Amino acid sequence: MAKGKKTVYFCQNCGHEETKWLGQCPACREWNTFVEEKITTAKTAAVKSQKEAQVLALSEVRTDDQVRLMTGLDELDRVLGGGIVPGSLVLVGGDPGIGKSTLLLQVCQRLSGDKQVLYVSGEESLAQIKLRANRMGTFSDNLKLLCETNLDTIRNIIENRRPDLVIIDSIQTMYNEEVSSAPGSVSQVRESTNVFMQLAKGLGVTIFIVGHVTKEGTVAGPRVLEHMVDTVLYFEGDRHASYRILRGVKNRFGSTNEIGVFEMRQNGLVEVENPSEYMLSGRPEHASGSVVACSLEGTRPLLIEIQALVCQTNFGMPRRTATGTDYNRVNLLMAVLEKRIGLHMSNCDAYVNIAGGIRMNEPAIDLGIVMALVSSYKNRPIDEKLLVFGEVGLSGEVRAVNMPEQRVAEARKLGFETCIIPEVSMHMVKDITGIKVIGVKNVSDAMNLI
């Protein structure tokens, strides 16, 4: 066997490999993403395999009905698609201090009662983990802790102990001796994830991997890391605020539209069973530019407060700001109001905000943004018991959205008395009683109602 070292360049964004440094990656077209790494190569003689690979027809493949493992956190189970699939590899990403380690330690607390759980930490000491665990309550002795970064040592312990669940915190600290680059590099992250993937599939062990994120909000390392795992979860929210949102970006065993809402407290993360009521808490009374809209995340309707402030500009070019929604979408809706309705907003500053810090891009909140802008422009408050939703087109028409009956039912449950929806969706909500539902064809009809 002949060994040698060579220098290669990896793209930190997509993992593309080149023999020399390039300013732009030819694969993902990103600039200044190549980093230099030295890898060890080995030339070995080709060995004829003694065992021929097994080829089966699709009808010959047997699937055993595997029972999902419930974590005890309903919000997490919803995002995972109904619980943990045995033998799956799950990647959890998020900003520093957002609560990734806290969430996974709470999963260990609930599962360690009747399951064997191994928590591998490469960043914190055993004493630091113990201090966090003391705030959460009591833990079973089935939870084992390991502070190690050597990948070979971790692999041997997992193969010998065969735990039901393994937590790796974090993947950027794992070190494979066969790779000569430093921990956290593209090569180390990719090779370490590959080892954990083989352990999960070969032994049937469920493995959760914590991943650091870059300043753009993506998991640090090549994007190939997200392709190797079964599920990718992102923890979102301002770490200075109390609530957190767990969102599924990729899920081979369920939907990627579901979200879980948590609230950070002294004893850990607490599930928010009714996020709509939580988002609307502290809403101002008799204030113009405030309206409640409904957005759908997976199968869960969320009621959110949209605030708008429109005032005369003091400069030659008006300023537009959007927080929590798409900036370009706000400009588009303001152009619709000026062209189709005749509201002269070209000389006005406009500030649009979704209260609570949550971010929504669903087209169903278009009508809510329009109503908030009109309310602030005319300085007329909207009824506090009014809910609106619908997509607004460039002609000023209000188009249909999916699942209007669930949105109206959520509004009725929270005490709203009137709901403005697209007229084409009226036939889908005719059986709902206890709330007044009004259908509108265009933005002008909605304006006349307020």
CB atoms within 10 A of CB 213: 17
Q: Residue 440 and residue 396: Cα distance in Å, rounded?
A: 11
127 contact partners, CB below 8 Å, separation of at least 6: none
166 phi/psi in degrees, rounded to 5 = -130, 135
End-to-end CA distance of the chain: 81
38 is in an annotated binding site: no
114 is in an annotated binding site: no
Residue 196: closest CA among 150, 155, 161: 155
95 is in an annotated binding site: yes
Chain centroid offset of residue 413 CA: 27
101 is in an annotated binding site: yes
With 0-12 CB in 10 A as exposed, 13-18 as middle and 19+ as buried, what is 123? Answer: middle
Q: Residue 91 and residue 226: Cα distance in Å, rounded?
A: 8
User: How many Cα atoms are found within 13 Å in the side-chain-facing hemisphere of 426?
Assistant: 11
96 is in an annotated binding site: yes
Q: Residue 281 and residue 439: Cα distance in Å, rounded?
A: 27
Rg value, the chain, Cα: 26
Q: Residue 127 and residue 146: Cα distance in Å, rounded?
A: 11
200 contact partners, CB below 8 Å, separation of at least 6: 87, 88, 89, 206, 207
Q: In what order do the strands lie in the sheet with 259-265?
A: 143-147, 117-121, 165-169, 206-211, 89-94, 231-236, 243-251, 259-265, 268-271
Strand ranges (E), 134-194: 143-147, 165-169
Chain centroid offset of residue 35 CA: 28
Q: Residue 356 and residue 371: Cα distance in Å, rounded?
A: 19
The three-state (H, E, C) secondary structure of 65-91, written as one string: CCCCECCCCHHHHHHHCCCECCCCEEE
97 is in an annotated binding site: yes
* Known binding residues: 94-101
Q: List the binding residues for ATP.
A: 94-101
